[in-house]
Amino acid sequence: MVLCLTLLLPIASWAGEGKDPAVAWQKIQAGAMVVDVRTAEEYAAGHIDGAINIPFEQIAAEFAKRGIAKDAEVVLYCRSGRRSGIAQDSLVAEGYEHTYNGGGFESLAAAKP
């Protein structure tokens, strides 16, 4: 039992948490890839500088297509954190170990250091 929990701790530190703008910005400032999972129209209306746009429904397929490494550090966000949570779950299911749900665009933008 202890062995199983020990093996999950590195993944839990990223994949099981989220929606804290301060933590998201720490990860972004440390070099994490930033992905806006909203629609192209929402992204065009405003987004975090440096973010790429991949709609949440396409996230796993697009990461595979782009050859994004499974150990890449990724911060995802949307309007409220719901779609970024779905995207995060999709990536974790595909073996991406360092994903973080940054929550909603407005709260993330307002917390920019």
Residues annotated catalytic, as ranges? 78
Rounded CA-CA distance 66/44 in Å is: 21
Cα dihedral 81→26→71→15 (10° resolution): -40
Strands 52-53 and 73-78: unpaired
Rounded CA-CA distance 87/56 in Å is: 5
Collapsing DSSP states into helix, strand and coil, what is residue 59?
Answer: helix
The answer to whether the CB of 32 falls within 8 A of the CB of 100 is yes
